[in-house]
Amino acid sequence: MRIRDTKEGAIISLLIAVYLAYQHFSRTSLQKSLDQGSIVITIAVVCIIIASLLLLI
């Protein structure tokens, strides 16, 4: 089964990114997520979600 370059692969990557975002934001509050130590992780999670959404277009 080949899912590379398909919509199914993009949906799977989007689901993984949303799960990672949920894990990241459920452990800390939104205020703690925007602290200087966690801002890099927060930006990375948001960028992964945006990239996954762009793959669906």
Residue 30: what pLDDT? 66
Domain spans of the chain, in order of start: 7-56
Cα 6 to Cα 9, 27, 40, 51, distances in angstroms = 5, 32, 29, 15
Kindly report the pTM of this predicted structure.
0.68
Closest among 14, 12, 3 to 51, alpha carbons compared: 14
Burial class of 24 by CB neighbour count within 10 A (0 to 12, 13 to 18, 19+): middle
- Which residues are CB-neighbours of 34 under 8 A, at least 6 positions away? 42
pLDDT one-digit tens code per residue, 8-42:
888 888 898 889 888 877 877 767 766 766 778 77
